[in-house]
Each structure stands twice: as structure tokens, then as C-alpha cells.
């Protein structure tokens, strides 16, 4: 009986470990996918404030005057709603992006990536399959 | 669910079923939260009833799917509006001209179908961007280059069809349309044609030779009134070997005439093959793209005051220039090619200017050797160095000019372009500066700097464009005034023969009519005749550049 109980507990622990590991992997994958979307569509304006940039980081630097990080990847305060609004509606010369450019799943992944330091991973565990 | 203009609900339901069967229901967008993404975020009708509405969008993946979608639209007489990447910002973006049109979104068709390294040609689909193709070359070590537009995120095909411009070679370069070779087009009836030698059914000459047998029809497909382009070939260039740029400074006001004439001569001789730039240090030309800071010397500033729209007196300015070694005008010449060759070209140019313009002097920059060193790359787009667009490197550097910055501290929600074309002569440049300055003052058009400090962009070999970005705002009243100012200033320019290079979509009618007045708008009537013949149901791009199908002609032009 004791042996059975031990095996049961072992199975539960193993299952929990596997679940946690699967979640970690799914989360990591979502973040990687989110970064890839960000790199493809956003970084040309919102990456380093370099001379090839479309000026997003420079514009935010000018606007915030140091009150907030100008690089979006350095921020953890942007809500999913705000990110969605900016991507889908654009703002101050930044154009919006359609579903044929950034799909809903890609947007979710990117939100997870931009909020990776917020303490709330939101839907990042969604594998997107 | 919204229904396209003029379509019954029953027909719309049948058409939607048909579109879904062709492209898959996930690529048929009918919900407002998705269709609203096709709204032009730069619209000059922000929040007004005239702002075009998109009831649905369909995104095919292949040319055959485009054909089937167009056939369905033609069957049910659904107005459709094709877009490539939808980045025609400032000219309408992804929104139709005729409100209630279904958008045919070709972004998913993003295949680079062929690259011929030896002949330097490519064949692409509409969704391929400039970034995509350069990335493809880099990843596959393909030694080719192509001309870059200001923002590189747009479509090659879209840019060519809109007759967009770049910044490098005169031939098959910065005039994107001039570099096209071979098209595949889906006509509004759903029929498909290939042009040039591709019409034979063989593609062995399709990207090598523009002309086949019969009339050359390519031009009618620009601006998307008569067909949906599903493939297009381009002539591009072997990878850069060298780049040289240098400035010719001239001391006198009247030197502008010779300076411009010699630039044209050098281009017509193909000695100069890059895009020239002009500026006037004495009239205070400035800006990041010229790599020139604004004037700060109080003595100089006092000489630049514009009174009643009149040009500041050139005499005292020339004297100031002589004391401070400042040119009245400079011309920057650009040469693409091996440095040994461009050295000879530049030497010839220097001799010519020295003979023809006494007192001119030269400013030479270190020529670039390709591949570029990391040090050179790090300095591109910075003061005193080369702009990426001048050497075929994709960037959004120029797009950044419209973002919030020290010169644009309160940006609008978007922008559009006022861009009259003028003949490339000193006399016409000076006249255009005066006309534009005086009328901007009269109409209350805000200017970043007086027109006397601005010079036309010399994209074309024989014409210039006085390009100026105008902000769009969230306030409808402000936008209404801006539209009136734009139309009035465009009309004044058209009266001088300086018609617009392109125009924001909602103002196509006015611009079309003022640009084609000869013989009571005979050219527009010819376009309409073609429209009625090629697109009998009038489904494609209704109203684009003022060309309306018969059943909407009165309403559209009204």
C-alpha cells in the first residue's frame, strides 16, 4: 500500500514538473515568437535611436524627455489594450497594421514579449497552434 | 455587417460565400474591428462623413485566387480596390477612393519569383517590399542592388504603379516605373494577360525586353484603374562598387541659371548618373537631408527677413557670402560606379563648371568603396556623410522626418504631400519660389521656412518637384481649411503649368481636372472610354485619379 502511495505521489510530482516545464517552454516560445514579430515590424522605428530608424524611439525621447524609457522594449508599463490600440490604430504618423501584416496571434505574442517584465504574461501560454 | 455600395444583401451573401471558397474564410474580413484596419490613418477627412468606409476585405494568396475573386466581384458588380502593401501613406494608404469598396489586399502575395543575377532582373509579386528583396539578396549572397524609396517598407510594384521615386541611378533606378519589364495583369472581367514578350506564353524574354508585338499597353496600368497586377518584372543593377559625391559652390545669385543648365547637360550626357541636390546656403537652406543646420548668425538672419512675400535682396546676401565664404547656391553631384571611372566623370564636371562659372569652388568627399567598412556603415545618414537611400540601403530615415522631432514638435495624425513638378531651369525655380512664397502667405499656409530657402527635388532628369509635407490633424475644421489651401495652391501651380506629381486620394478629382484641361479635358474623356471598354461593370478602383466608371461618373465628379 505504501509503495502504491509513493508511486502515486511520484506520478503527481512528475506530472506537475512536466506541466510546469511545458508551460515554461510554451511561454518561452511565445516570447520568442513575439520578439520575432517585434523585430520584423516594429524595430525599424522603435529600436535603437540610430540613423536608419523611422524615428519612433527619437520621437518618444523628444516627447518623454527622460520621464519614460524611449525604447518600447525597455518598458514594462504598457497594457495589452494600449499595445493593441497602437498597432491597430497607429498614432502621430505611425501607421496601423492590418491582419495580413500582423495576425491576432502575432499581436498576442508581441504583447507577451513587450510585457515580459510586467509580472503578468497574459496569454503568453497560448501556443498559437 | 456592412454591404458594399450598390450591392444587394442577397448578392453580397452569395459573393462572400464565393470569396470564402476561394481564399478561405479566415482571409475574408467583414467585422468592423477588422475592416476598419483599412481606414487611411492619414486621411484628410478624419472623422468626417466623406472619409471612405471599407465594408470588407479579401486577401488572396495566388494570382489564380485574384482571378477568381475578381470574377466574383464582376459577377455581382462589387466595387473593389486592390492594394499591394497599403503603405501608400500620404496618398490614401490602404483605403479606397470610392467609399464602400471592398479592398483586395495583396499583401499575402509576397514571393520573389525569380532573380537573374547576370541580367540584373527580378520578378516579384505585389506584397514584396524593398526590405524583403534586399534581405533576400543579403541572405543568398546575391550581388545585386536596387534603388530605394524614402521609406523602404512599401511594395516594389505599388511604388512603380504609383510612379514613385528613389534616390540613385537616373536610368531604371529612381524613376521606379521606368525600370519595369513585364507584367501579369488580371483584368476587371477576370481575364489574365501577360505583357511584352511574355504574351507569347514563354517567359524566356519576359524580363529582358519590354516590347512585344502590338501597342505598348503598360502605361495604362499605372495608378491601378484598369487591372490588378499580380506579377511584375524589374530591371535593377549589379551591386555597387563605388559611390562619389561632391559639391559645386557658386558665389552669385544669377549663377543659378548656369548651375542648373550644366547639371542637366551632365545628366543628359550620362556623365552624372546619380540624383543631384541643390541648396542655397545664403538663403538659409537647412535640414537633416541636406546635412545643413539652420542659420543662427543674427547678421545673416536679418538679411533673410521676408517682407510682403518678396524675395530678400540678393545683393547684401552676396556681400555677406563673400565675407563669410558662403555660396549663393550649391549643387551636389552624385556618381555611381567604380571609383576609377567616377573620378574621370567628376574631373570632367569640374572642368566644365570652372570654365562656365567663374569663381565657383568645389567640395569633395571621400568616395565610398563597396563592400562598405563597418566604420563607414556606422556613419551613414549622419551629418557630413552619405544617406542610405543614395546607395540603395533600405531605411526609414526619411520617414522619421515626419515624426515628432525638434523641427516638428507637434506632429499631426498624419501627413500628405504638396508636390508640383516644375521645369528644371534656374528661371522656373526662381519663379516657383516667388509664386509659392507669396501665395502661401496670402492663403495663410504655415511654412517651416520661406520657399526662398527651398529647392526642388531633382528626381527627374529634366524636371524638379517642389515637395512639401503638410500635416493632417484630428480637427475637421483645420483639415477642411488645409484641403482648401491645397486645392487652391495646386490650381495656382497648374495655371503656371506646374501640375502635381501625385495627390492624396480624396482630392483626385480636383487634381485630375486641373491637370488635364487641354481641349476640354480630352485626356480624361479618353481615360473614361478605356474604362468603359476594359471594365464594363465599373468594379475596379472607382474614382482613382478622377477616373469613374460610367454608372458613377456624374455622382463621382459631382
Within 13 Å, how many C-alpha atoms sit on residue A48's CB side?
A: 4
Q: pTM of the prediction?
A: 0.92
C-alpha B288: how far from chain center? 20
Regarding whether B394 and B359 lie in a shared domain, the answer is yes
Whether A44 has a pLDDT exceeding 70, the answer reads yes
Beta-bridge mates of residue B123: B114, B233
Kindly determine whether residue B403 and residue A100, on different chains, have CB atoms separated by under 8 Å.
no
Are A67 and A75 in contact by the 8 Å Cβ rule? The answer is no
Whether B16 has a pLDDT exceeding 50, the answer reads yes
Whether A14 has a pLDDT exceeding 60, the answer reads no
Q: What's the domain count of chain A?
A: 1
Residues in chain A within 8 Å Cβ distance of B94: 98
Measured at the CA of B535, the angle between CA B76 and CA B234, to 5 degrees, comes to 115
Interface test with B, best of A52, A59, A64, A88 (most B CBs within 10 A): A52
Q: What's the domain count of chain B?
A: 4
| Chain B touched by A4 (CB under 8 Å) | no
Model pLDDT, residue A1: 38
Q: Give the pairing type, strands B57-58 and B102-105.
A: parallel
Give the A:B interface size as CB pairs under 8 Å. Answer: 98
Task: Using alpha carbons, select from B158, B157, B218, B214 the residue that is nearest to residue B182.
Answer: B218
User: How close is the nearest chain B Cα to the Cα of A106, in Å?
Assistant: 15
Whether A2 has a pLDDT exceeding 50, the answer reads no
Query: CATH number for the domain including B546?
Result: 1.10.45.10
Is A94 a domain residue?
yes
User: B203-236, pLDDT tens digit by residue?
Assistant: 999 999 999 999 999 999 999 999 999 999 999 9
Sorting pLDDT into bands at 50, 70 and 90, what band is B5? confident
3-state DSSP call for residue B228? strand
Kindly determine whether residue A62 and residue B29, on different chains, have CB atoms separated by under 8 Å.
no
Residue A3 or B331, more confident:
B331
Sorting pLDDT into bands at 50, 70 and 90, what band is A124? very low
User: B44-97, pLDDT tens digit by residue?
Assistant: 999 999 999 999 999 999 999 999 999 999 999 999 999 999 999 999 999 999
Residues in chain A within 8 Å Cβ distance of B132: none
Query: CATH number for the domain including B66?
Result: 3.30.43.10
Kindly determine whether residue B395 and residue A98, on different chains, have CB atoms separated by under 8 Å.
no
Whether B156 has a pLDDT exceeding 50, the answer reads yes
Nearest to A62 among B29, B401, B405 (CB): B405
User: How close is the nearest chain A Cα to the Cα of B171, in Å?
Assistant: 26
Interface test with B, best of A95, A106, A107 (most B CBs within 10 A): A95
Model pLDDT, residue A36: 96
Is A59 a domain residue?
no
| Chain A touched by B405 (CB under 8 Å) | yes
Regarding whether B69 and B194 lie in a shared domain, the answer is no
Task: Using alpha carbons, select from B138, B350, B333, B353 the residue that is nearest to residue B247.
Answer: B333
Regarding whether B484 and B385 lie in a shared domain, the answer is yes
Lowest-confidence region among B102-116, B197-211, B256-270, B543-557:
B543-557
Query: CATH number for the domain including A33?
Result: 1.10.760
**Smallest CA–CA distance from B402 into chain A, residue:** A93
Sorting pLDDT into bands at 50, 70 and 90, what band is B135? very high
Interface test with A, best of B404, B411, B417 (most A CBs within 10 A): B404
Regarding whether B410 and B310 lie in a shared domain, the answer is yes
Sorting pLDDT into bands at 50, 70 and 90, what band is B558? low
3-state DSSP call for residue B469? strand
Task: Using alpha carbons, select from B248, B242, B174 the residue that is nearest to residue B458.
Answer: B174
Kindly determine whether residue B107 and residue A62, on different chains, have CB atoms separated by under 8 Å.
no
User: How close is the nearest chain B Cα to the Cα of A74, in Å?
Assistant: 20
Is B279 a domain residue?
yes
Using the structure block, give the residue that is written with the C-alpha cell 485630375. Answer: B512
Are B304 and B290 in contact by the 8 Å Cβ rule? The answer is no
Model pLDDT, residue A127: 32
Kindly determine whether residue A59 and residue B403, on different chains, have CB atoms separated by under 8 Å.
yes
Task: Using alpha carbons, select from B62, B151, B86 the residue that is nearest to residue B398.
Answer: B151
Residues in chain A within 8 Å Cβ distance of B108: 100
Whether A9 has a pLDDT exceeding 70, the answer reads no
Whether B387 has a pLDDT exceeding 60, the answer reads yes
User: B485-501, pLDDT tens digit by residue?
Assistant: 999 999 999 999 999 99
Regarding whether B401 and B308 lie in a shared domain, the answer is yes
Is A14 a domain residue?
no
**Dihedral Cα B226, B231, B237, B238, nearest 10 deg:** 180
Is A79 a domain residue?
yes
Domain stops at, among B55, B75, B105: B105
Using the structure block, give the residue that is written with the C-alpha cell 496601423. Answer: A96
Regarding whether B138 and B80 lie in a shared domain, the answer is no
**Smallest CA–CA distance from B414 into chain A, residue:** A93
What's the sign of the alpha-carbon dihedral A16, A21, A27, A29? negative
Nearest to A54 among B27, B393, B400 (CB): B400
Task: Using alpha carbons, select from A43, A99, A61, A38 the residue that is nearest to residue B395.
Answer: A43
Regarding whether B280 and B251 lie in a shared domain, the answer is yes
Model pLDDT, residue B192: 98
| Chain B touched by A62 (CB under 8 Å) | yes
Cα–Cα dist B551/B285, whole Å: 49
Kindly determine whether residue A92 and residue B412, on different chains, have CB atoms separated by under 8 Å.
yes
Model pLDDT, residue A24: 63
Task: Using alpha carbons, select from B106, B107, B76, B81 the residue that is nearest to residue B96.
Answer: B81
Query: CATH number for the domain including B126?
Result: 3.30.465.10
Which residues, other chains included, contact B424 with Cβ-Cβ below 8 Å and sequence gap of 6+? B260, B263, B264, B456, B458, B460, B461, B462, B463, B464
Regarding whether B345 and B250 lie in a shared domain, the answer is yes
Query: CATH number for the domain including B455?
Result: 3.40.462.10
Residue A11 or B28, more confident:
B28
For the segment B507-519, the average pLDDT, to the nearest whole number, is 96
Kindly determine whether residue B396 and residue A54, on different chains, have CB atoms separated by under 8 Å.
yes
Sorting pLDDT into bands at 50, 70 and 90, what band is B126? very high
Measured at the CA of B500, the angle between CA B494 and CA B501, to 5 degrees, comes to 150
Cα–Cα dist B319/B314, whole Å: 9
3-state DSSP call for residue B334? strand
CA distances from residue B82 to A3, A71, B86, B540 in whole angstroms, order as listed: 70, 35, 9, 8
Regarding whether B177 and B98 lie in a shared domain, the answer is no
Are B361 and B281 in contact by the 8 Å Cβ rule? The answer is no
Sorting pLDDT into bands at 50, 70 and 90, what band is B382? confident
For the segment B259-283, the average pLDDT, to the nearest whole number, is 96
3-state DSSP call for residue B190? coil
| Chain B touched by A88 (CB under 8 Å) | yes
Model pLDDT, residue A125: 35
ipTM over 0.85: yes
Is B71 a domain residue?
yes
Regarding whether B474 and B415 lie in a shared domain, the answer is yes
Sorting pLDDT into bands at 50, 70 and 90, what band is B38? very high
Is A95 a domain residue?
yes
Model pLDDT, residue B63: 98
User: B160-193, pLDDT tens digit by residue?
Assistant: 999 999 999 888 788 999 999 999 999 999 999 9
Model pLDDT, residue A20: 53
Domain of residue B93 covers 9-105
What's the sign of the alpha-carbon dihedral A99, A105, A106, A108? positive
Regarding whether B185 and B298 lie in a shared domain, the answer is no
Cα–Cα dist B267/B94, whole Å: 36
Beta-bridge mates of residue B228: B186
Regarding whether B528 and B497 lie in a shared domain, the answer is no
Mean pLDDT of chain B: 95
Model pLDDT, residue A5: 45
Which triple of cell numbers denotes residue B533? 471598354
Start-to-end CA distance of chain A, whole Å, equals 42
Whether B467 has a pLDDT exceeding 60, the answer reads yes
Residues in chain B within 8 Å Cβ distance of A36: none
Whether A3 has a pLDDT exceeding 50, the answer reads no
Model pLDDT, residue A19: 53
Is B1 a domain residue?
no
Model pLDDT, residue B187: 98
Sorting pLDDT into bands at 50, 70 and 90, what band is B398? confident
Lowest-confidence region among A56-70, B174-188, B376-390:
B376-390
Residues in chain B within 8 Å Cβ distance of A94: 403
Amino acid at each position: 500500500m505504501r509503495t502504491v502511495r509513493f508511486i502515486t505521489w511520484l506520478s503527481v510530482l512528475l506530472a506537475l514538473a512536466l506541466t510546469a516545464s511545458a508551460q515554461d517552454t510554451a511561454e518561452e516560445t511565445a516570447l520568442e515568437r513575439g520578439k520575432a514579430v517585434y523585430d520584423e515590424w516594429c524595430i525599424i522605428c522603435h529600436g535603437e535611436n540610430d540613423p536608419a530608424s523611422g524615428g519612433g524611439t527619437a520621437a518618444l525621447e523628444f516627447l518623454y524627455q527622460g520621464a519614460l524609457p524611449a525604447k518600447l522594449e525597455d518598458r514594462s508599463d504598457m497594457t495589452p489594450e494600449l499595445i493593441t490600440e497602437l498597432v491597430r490604430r497607429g498614432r502621430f504618423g505611425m501607421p496601423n497594421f492590418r491582419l495580413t501584416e500582423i495576425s491576432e496571434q502575432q499581436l498576442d505574442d508581441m504583447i507577451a514579449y513587450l510585457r515580459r517584465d510586467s509580472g503578468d504574461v497574459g496569454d503568453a501560454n497560448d501556443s498559437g497552434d | 455587417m456592412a454591404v458594399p455600395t450598390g450591392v444587394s444583401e442577397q448578392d453580397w451573401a452569395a459573393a462572400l460565400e464565393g470569396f470564402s471558397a476561394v481564399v478561405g474564410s479566415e482571409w475574408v474580413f467583414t467585422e468592423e474591428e477588422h475592416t476598419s484596419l483599412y481606414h487611411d490613418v492619414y486621411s484628410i477627412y478624419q472623422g468626417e462623413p466623406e472619409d471612405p468606409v471599407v465594408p470588407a476585405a479579401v486577401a488572396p494568396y495566388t494570382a489564380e485566387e485574384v482571378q477568381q475573386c475578381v470574377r466574383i466581384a464582376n459577377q455581382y458588380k462589387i466595387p473593389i480596390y486592390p492594394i499591394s502593401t497599403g503603405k501608400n501613406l500620404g496618398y490614401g494608404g490602404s483605403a479606397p477612393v470610392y467609399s464602400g469598396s471592398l479592398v483586395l489586399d495583396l499583401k499575402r502575395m509576397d514571393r520573389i519569383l525569380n532573380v537573374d543575377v547576370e541580367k540584373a532582373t527580378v520578378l516579384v509579386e505585389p506584397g514584396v517590399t524593398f526590405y524583403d528583396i534586399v534581405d533576400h539578396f543579403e541572405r543568398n549572397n546575391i550581388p545585386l542592388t536596387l534603388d530605394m524609396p524614402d521609406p523602404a517598407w512599401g511594395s516594389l510594384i505599388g511604388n512603380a504603379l504609383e510612379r514613385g521615386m528613389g534616390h540613385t541611378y537616373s536610368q531604371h533606378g529612381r524613376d521606379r516605373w521606368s525600370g519595369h519589364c513585364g507584367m501579369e495583369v488580371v483584368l476587371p472581367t477576370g481575364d489574365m494577360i501577360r505583357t511584352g514578350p511574355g504574351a507569347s506564353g514563354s517567359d524566356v524574354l519576359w524580363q529582358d525586353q519590354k516590347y512585344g508585338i502590338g501597342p505598348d499597353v503598360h502605361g495604362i496600368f499605372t495608378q491601378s484603374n484598369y487591372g490588378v497586377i499580380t506579377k511584375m518584372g524589374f530591371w535593377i543593377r549589379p551591386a555597387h562598387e563605388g559611390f562619389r559625391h561632391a559639391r559645386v559652390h557658386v558665389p552669385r545669385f544669377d549663377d543659378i541659371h548656369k548651375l542648373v543648365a550644366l547639371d542637366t547637360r551632365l545628366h543628359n550626357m550620362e556623365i552624372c548618373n546619380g540624383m543631384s541636390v541643390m541648396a542655397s546656403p545664403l538663403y538659409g537652406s537647412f535640414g537633416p537631408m541636406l546635412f545643413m543646420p539652420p542659420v543662427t548668425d543674427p547678421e545673416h538672419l536679418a538679411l533673410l527677413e521676408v517682407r510682403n512675400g518678396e524675395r530678400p535682396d540678393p545683393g547684401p546676401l552676396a556681400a555677406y557670402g563673400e565675407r563669410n565664404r558662403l555660396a549663393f547656391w550649391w549643387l551636389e553631384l552624385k556618381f555611381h560606379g567604380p571609383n576609377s571611372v567616377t573620378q574621370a566623370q567628376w574631373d570632367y564636371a569640374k572642368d566644365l563648371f570652372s570654365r562656365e562659372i567663374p569663381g565657383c569652388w568645389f567640395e569633395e568627399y571621400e568616395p565610398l568603396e563597396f563592400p562598405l567598412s563597418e566604420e563607414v556603415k556606422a556613419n551613414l545618414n549622419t551629418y557630413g556623410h552619405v544617406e542610405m537611400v543614395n546607395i540603395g540601403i533600405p531605411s526609414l530615415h526619411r520617414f522619421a522626418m515626419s515624426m515628432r522631432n525638434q523641427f516638428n514638435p507637434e506632429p499631426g495624425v498624419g501627413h500628405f504631400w504638396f508636390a508640383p513638378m516644375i521645369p528644371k531651369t534656374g528661371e522656373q525655380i526662381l519663379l516657383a519660389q516667388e509664386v509659392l512664397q507669396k501665395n502661401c502667405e496670402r492663403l495663410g499656409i504655415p511654412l517651416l521656412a520661406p520657399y526662398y530657402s527651398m529647392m526642388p527635388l531633382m528626381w527627374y532628369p529634366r524636371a524638379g518637384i517642389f515637395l512639401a509635407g503638410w500635416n493632417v490633424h484630428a480637427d475637421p475644421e483645420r483639415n477642411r481649411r488645409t484641403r482648401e489651401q491645397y486645392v487652391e495652391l495646386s490650381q495656382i501651380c497648374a495655371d503656371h503649368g506646374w501640375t502635381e506629381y501625385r495627390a492624396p486620394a480624396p482630392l483626385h478629382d480636383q487634381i485630375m481636372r486641373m491637370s488635364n484641361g487641354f481641349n476640354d479635358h480630352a485626356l480624361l474623356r479618353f481615360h473614361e472610354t478605356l474604362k468603359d471598354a476594359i471594365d464594363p461593370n465599373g468594379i475596379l478602383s472607382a474614382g482613382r485619379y478622377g477616373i469613374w466608371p460610367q454608372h458613377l461618373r456624374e455622382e463621382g465628379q459631382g
